Amino acid sequence: MTRMVASLSPRTWSLLSLCLILAVSPARAQRANSVEAQTGTPAQQGRALEQQFRERFAEVVKRRLNLDDTQMQQLGRINDRFERDRVQLLREERRARQALRAEVLAGDSADQKKVAGLLDQVLALQRRRLDLTENEQRELAAFMTPTQRAKYFAIQDQLRQRLENLRRQRQERRAGAGPGGQRPLP
């Protein structure tokens, strides 16, 4: 399983990241065939892993928040509505942070105007992310109690942190690998 996960393409990682960040749309959740997941193409494997994750995540959310089927459907619709914007914001923020990091690492040769612009961009993206979260919470309030919303927010936050850790570990492994993906000898 570890080899399969490590061999996923960047596109598949993006899809997997997307489903880690987002809650599940129960209407789209169908049981994936684990044999297919192990023997299919990398794209099929990625889709099967994504589907399996979505199903498990939906089960966890439903159980922890004690949601009924109607509430799960409402949650799925809301997540579908916010999904595109959330993913786009995360991409933009990642790009801005990477560009900012590159400029800062340039030391004395860093373009100060570019650094200032990137800082402003990162802050604006954080404001947009907060606005998105507030809008999502307002819609969730129509069918969830404040406690359910707080628990759901915590679940989403935990998943984002785990995803970030996985992404960071993957980057570190890639950075430590030599030509052909092999780690250099000590």
Q: Structural domain boundaries of the chain? A: 2-171
3-class DSSP assignment, residue 176: helix
Question: What pLDDT shows up at residue 177?
Answer: 63
**Mean pLDDT, all residues of the chain:** 79
Residue 7: both structure tokens together: 């061999």
21 closest CA partner among 56, 60, 54, 70: 54
Measured CA to CA, the distance from residue 34 to residue 40 in angstroms comes to: 10
Confidence of residue 34 (pLDDT cuts 50, 70, 90): very low
| 8 within 8 A of 45, measured Cβ to Cβ | yes
48 closest CA partner among 36, 63, 60, 66: 36
| Residue 57, pLDDT above cutoff 90 | no
Average pLDDT over residues 47-54: 83
